[in-house]
Chains A and B, each alone.
Chain A
Amino acid sequence: MRTTSIAFATIATLASGCANDPVYLPAPASIDAGETRDMDGNILPGVSALVIPVKLETMAQATDRARRQAMITDPLVRLPFINVDDFEISVEWTITNLTDMPGNATVQLNGANEFFRYDPSMIQLSADDESPAPPGLDGDVPLDIPARGKLNGLFTEDNVREAAIDLDQITRGNINPFRATLTISKNVDQFAQLAPLMFDMDGEPLPQMTTGTIFPREAIPAMLELDIVFKPDRHMLLEYTVRVRDVRGDMLPDKLMATPVAELQPFMPTDFAITATATP
């Protein structure tokens, strides 16, 4: 009898372990970059976006979300369907140098949650043409790739969680992208919203005050679209795979990318933009 109990306990342990197993979402296509140039002769980056498929929200989930939303008094704090802690996401990539010369490349991670999409090319933080380019949410580390060589790399679960929180801080929290990406926020319990960015007469950002709105961690959405920006200095190929662990266990559809669109939660984030305009 005791052995039978041990057998059942083993089965139960195995079954509970399965709930958090990862799934792998292949990239829609490899990113082939380094050969196309703009009119000024600069190499154009390669870009690829992958949207994580999510099952339609059930009535029970919607009711539960409405119940939790009702407990939040600030109307600006909207609870997401997928919270930052509901998914553990990582992105593994491989760069292949297709030339006979060693080269350099950077891989930048951007993306969108269910409310906003962050694209650094839509952000202007200064009217000064020589000011540094707005940051991506993660990556942008210069990498050396040997001639005809390969390099594997990873945006870890911690990296992507940090990026998801930075994304919400930048978009709903109005926090300067440099400040958001240069501070470590992956373990924050909440963050305070700042007043929208204003600029001085020279087009430089002015100090910001808090608005009094506090976003608790349960209001921070997960990043559901991952935008990979690949910037090589010569002809290279980037392949990537997104690894997702469904912590709640009921959010990912069984057929993943092959799921019919009608069975997926609609995903229509708003493009987020900042334009630096000199204020007299």
Chain B
Amino acid sequence: MGRLAAVFCALAVLVSAAAEARPASKGWFAEGGLGAVAFLPPRASRGAALGPSLGVRVGRDLFSWLSLNVHVAASSHEAIVPPPPEGEWFQLYRGAGDLRLTGRFDRLALYAEGGAGLVMISSNVLGKLMITDPGEEFGVMFGGGAGFEYQLENRHYSVGIGVDAFFVPQFAKMAGLDSRAFLRYTY
């Protein structure tokens, strides 16, 4: 019985050591990501093709589990409207503020985030599908997403993969998914 208790205690010590958070910086951070944006049905997916995206995020960890972020992202898409025009591209610029909840498990951290912001479309090419109205360039955007980070040996750096969904009611309820791989630096 005593031997069993000793083994149990040893295991408990080992498990608690493994569960201890890996050293990771906390505070101001910046994140840069590359990925792709795909639009969701019904309308936007018929008017715009999958396109590359680039995003930058700056934020501050208020606690180890909560951070406040501002991010800007741009993506470029081929408009697939009935010709003419044909082969024309447009850009979608997104800027938002959001809150991120993070749970850290050793080297891995899982997060979920949500927020709101503004979106700007670079041209009226989607007007042909009535996705944008004449003169409509800006819209309010709501978004949320999730992903995970992997902490590197250097406590300032981590890499990760994330997916954010966004929704723009003004642009004929345009919805899309921004999937990205990112590098994060925490000061």
Establish whether residues B135 and A256, one from each chain, have CB atoms under 8 Å apart when the complex forms.
Answer: yes
Q: Which of A3, A11, A21, A94 contacts B72 (CB 8 A)?
A: A11
CB of B2 closer than 8 Å to a CB of A: no
Cα-based distance from A6 to B83 in the complex (angstroms)? 39
Establish whether residues B137 and A254, one from each chain, have CB atoms under 8 Å apart when the complex forms.
Answer: yes
CB of A18 closer than 8 Å to a CB of B: yes
**Residues A255 and B123 in contact in the complex (CB < 8 Å), given A14-B72, A92-B84:** no
Taking CB atoms, residues of chain A closer than 8 Å to B70 are 7
Q: Mark A237-266, 1 if CB is under 8 A from B, else 0.
A: 001110100000000011111100000000
Q: Which of B74, B83, B122, B123 contacts A92 (CB 8 A)?
A: B83
Q: Mark B4-27, 1 if CB is under 8 A from A, else 0.
A: 000000000000000000000000
B interface residues, tally (CB under 8 Å): 26
Establish whether residues A255 and B134, one from each chain, have CB atoms under 8 Å apart when the complex forms.
Answer: yes
Taking CB atoms, residues of chain B closer than 8 Å to A240 are 84
Q: Which residue of chain B has the shortest Cβ distance to A92 in the bound complex?
A: B84
| Distance (whole angstroms) from the CB of B187 to the closest CB of chain A | 8
CB of A10 closer than 8 Å to a CB of B: yes
| Distance (whole angstroms) from the CB of B53 to the closest CB of chain A | 12
Q: What does DSSP make chain A's interface, helix, strand, loop or mixed?
A: mixed
**Residues A239 and B134 in contact in the complex (CB < 8 Å), given A3-B30, A7-B56, A18-B93:** no
| Distance (whole angstroms) from the CB of A244 to the closest CB of chain B | 10
Establish whether residues B128 and A258, one from each chain, have CB atoms under 8 Å apart when the complex forms.
Answer: no
Taking CB atoms, residues of chain B closer than 8 Å to A253 are 135
CB of B110 closer than 8 Å to a CB of A: no
Cα-based distance from A229 to B67 in the complex (angstroms)? 61
Cα-based distance from A99 to B1 in the complex (angstroms)? 95
Cα-based distance from A240 to B85 in the complex (angstroms)? 8
CB of A142 closer than 8 Å to a CB of B: no
Cα-based distance from A21 to B74 in the complex (angstroms)? 14
Q: Which residue of chain A has the shortest Cβ distance to B185 in the bound complex?
A: A3
Taking CB atoms, residues of chain B closer than 8 Å to A21 are 90-91, 122-123
CB of A23 closer than 8 Å to a CB of B: yes
Cα-based distance from A138 to B83 in the complex (angstroms)? 22
Closest 4 CB pairs of A and B: A3-B30, A255-B135, A254-B135, A92-B84
A7-B58, A22-B123, A24-B88 are known; give 4 further A-B pairs, CB within 8 A.
A6-B30, A18-B93, A150-B83, A240-B84
A residues in contact (CB < 8 Å) with B: 3-4, 6-7, 10-11, 14, 17-18, 21-24, 26, 92-94, 150, 152, 239-241, 243, 253-258
